[in-house]
């Protein structure tokens, strides 16, 4: 799935990566000494990556506005043919629901008063007229997300953000979404571990409600992240797409400002889903884009739906029972993350199940 060959990182001990990152984007000065990190394993065999205890400040400092603007969307070479020949697995059990939550009112008030977006805000667009999705390819509605001021300052739009990270060559971004009061966000596992070239990305930082590389509350550096055993040890990404889900926990308590989505596992492969995420084919990936469609089943834990996002949208949550401006039980539940796109009118997502999300969420404390 991920193009190119990188250096395979050590599997055993905490180590220091020293020096520049080779061909990093010229607009970004790579840090001389990236923070240490360590690969870890759970008792169940799931794999994790942990930052050193003193690295949070360094990670936050390195992701300046200039560095974030210089980052590129992760180069994903997903093809619909990657789904061919994979067997379906529907034995996932009864649906599971975990509620979301609104941000702390006092913290939100301080954020609203301190952010400087409104002075240069683009006009609020007319509300979109939604179609009636039919669960077929190419049928969807799409519209700008936090391009609009009403969405920029509203739940659950600001629980979605951009995830920044690096390898030894450059700096990249995916989409991630907060799903836990414990400051945990979900994304695609391929934004954490390259299952084709077999190496970890590192220096993860989350910017909720990111808008053209700016974030009114700054940067939230990661502390630890987890991916599934099946993804970590896959011979190639296309053989483990049902496990292309990862979680990361962040410092500095982002949920107090932005709240968090709930999440659900074992949902039907045919449901009405709203996707909110970043995609390079609209506004250069500056604001979020929103797709609304009914999903349809594919194979091996993967669902499809109509949407005009491209491959740069990976990590974008699919939200079940979407209800803008409200937080509560059984609404605004993340049920899947985008793993790739095809033909310009369809996307594919790994749907959350107790086989792919439960163990890593248990490990990190969703």
| Candidate from 73-82, 117-126, 245-254 with smallest mean pLDDT | 117-126
The per-residue pLDDT for 13 is: 32
Domain map (residue ranges) of the chain: 37-364
Q: How many CB atoms lie within 10 A of CB 54?
A: 9
pLDDT band at 164 (very low <50, low <70, confident <90, very high): very high
Comparing CA positions, the residue from 265, 274, 261, 237 lying closest to residue 184 is 261
Average pLDDT over residues 230-248: 94
On the question of pLDDT at 313 being above 50, the answer is yes
On the question of pLDDT at 12 being above 60, the answer is no
pLDDT tens per residue across span 258-272: 999 999 999 988 889
pLDDT band at 352 (very low <50, low <70, confident <90, very high): very high
SS3 of 10-39: CCCCCECCCCCCCCCCCCCCCCCCCCCEEE
Residue listed under structure tokens 């061909």: 23
Percent of the chain whose predicted confidence (pLDDT) is above 90: 56
The per-residue pLDDT for 76 is: 87
Q: Which of the two residues, 137 and 204, has the higher pLDDT score?
A: 204
On the question of pLDDT at 126 being above 60, the answer is no
Q: Which of the two residues, 119 and 87, has the higher pLDDT score?
A: 87
Tokens of 109: 């008030």
Average pLDDT over residues 268-296: 92
pTM, rounded to two decimals? 0.85
Distance CA 100, CA 177 (A): 11
Determine the CATH number of domain 37-364. Answer: 2.40.10.120
On the question of pLDDT at 179 being above 90, the answer is yes
Provide the b/e sequence for 93-112 (b: ≥16 CB within 10 Å): eebbebbbbbbbeebbeebe
Q: How far is CA 129 from the centre of its chain?
A: 27
Average pLDDT over residues 95-106: 91
On the question of pLDDT at 56 being above 70, the answer is yes
On the question of pLDDT at 145 being above 90, the answer is no
The per-residue pLDDT for 349 is: 96
On the question of pLDDT at 169 being above 70, the answer is yes
On the question of pLDDT at 119 being above 80, the answer is no
Q: How many CB atoms lie within 10 A of CB 247?
A: 26
| Candidate from 13-22, 130-139, 267-276, 340-349 with smallest mean pLDDT | 13-22
pLDDT band at 141 (very low <50, low <70, confident <90, very high): confident
DSSP per-residue codes, 214-282: B-TT--EEEEEEEE-HHHHT-SSGGG-GGG--EEEEESS-THHHH-B-EEEES--SS-EEEEEE--TTS
Looking at mean pLDDT, say which of 119-123, 136-140, 189-193, 252-256 comes out highest.
189-193
On the question of pLDDT at 282 being above 60, the answer is yes
Looking at mean pLDDT, say which of 148-157, 187-196, 323-332 comes out highest.
187-196
pLDDT band at 215 (very low <50, low <70, confident <90, very high): low
The per-residue pLDDT for 125 is: 43
pLDDT band at 87 (very low <50, low <70, confident <90, very high): low
Percent of the chain whose predicted confidence (pLDDT) is above 70: 79
pLDDT band at 68 (very low <50, low <70, confident <90, very high): very high
Cis peptide before 156 (omega within 30 of 0): yes
Average pLDDT over residues 247-264: 95
């Amino acid at each position: 799935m991920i193009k190119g060959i990188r250096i395979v990182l050590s599997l055993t001990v905490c180590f220091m990566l020293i020096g520049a990152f080779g061909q990093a984007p010229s607009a970004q000065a790579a840090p001389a000494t990236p923070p240490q990190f360590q690969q870890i394993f759970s008792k169940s065999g799931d794999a994790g990556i942990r930052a050193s205890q003193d690295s949070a400040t360094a990670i936050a400092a390195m992701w300046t506005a200039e560095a974030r603007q210089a980052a590129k969307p992760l180069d994903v070479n997903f093809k619909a043919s990657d789904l061919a020949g994979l067997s379906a697995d529907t034995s996932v059990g009864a649906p599971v629901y975990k509620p979301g939550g609104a941000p702390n009112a006092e913290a939100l008030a301080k954020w609203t008063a301190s952010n400087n977006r409104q002075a240069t805000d683009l006009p609020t667009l007319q509300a979109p007229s939604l179609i009636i999705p039919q669960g077929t390819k190419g049928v969807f509605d799409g519209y700008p997300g936090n391009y609009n001021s009403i969405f920029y300052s509203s739940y659950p739009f600001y629980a979605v953000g951009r995830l920044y990270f690096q390898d030894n060559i450059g700096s990249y971004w995916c989409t991630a979404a907060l799903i836990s009061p414990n400051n945990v966000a979900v994304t695609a596992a391929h934004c954490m571990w390259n299952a084709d070239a077999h190496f970890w990305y590192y220096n993860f930082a989350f910017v909720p409600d990111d808008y053209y590389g700016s974030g009114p509350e700054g940067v939230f550096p990661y502390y630890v992240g987890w991916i599934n055993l099946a993804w970590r040890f896959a011979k190639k990404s296309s053989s483990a797409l049902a496990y292309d889900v990862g979680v990361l926990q962040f410092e500095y308590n982002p949920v107090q400002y932005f709240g968090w989505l709930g999440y659900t596992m074992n949902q039907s492969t045919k449901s009405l889903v709203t996707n909110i995420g970043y995609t390079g084919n609209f506004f250069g990936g500056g604001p979020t884009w929103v797709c609304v469609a009914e999903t349809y089943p594919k194979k091996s834990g993967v669902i499809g739906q109509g949407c005009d996002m491209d491959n740069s949208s990976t990590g974008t949550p699919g939200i079940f029972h979407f209800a803008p401006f409200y937080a509560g039980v059984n609404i605004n539940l993340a049920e899947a993350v985008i793993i790739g796109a095809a033909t310009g009118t369809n996307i594919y997502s790994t749907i959350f199940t107790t086989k792919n999300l439960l163990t890593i969420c248990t490990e990190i404390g969703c």
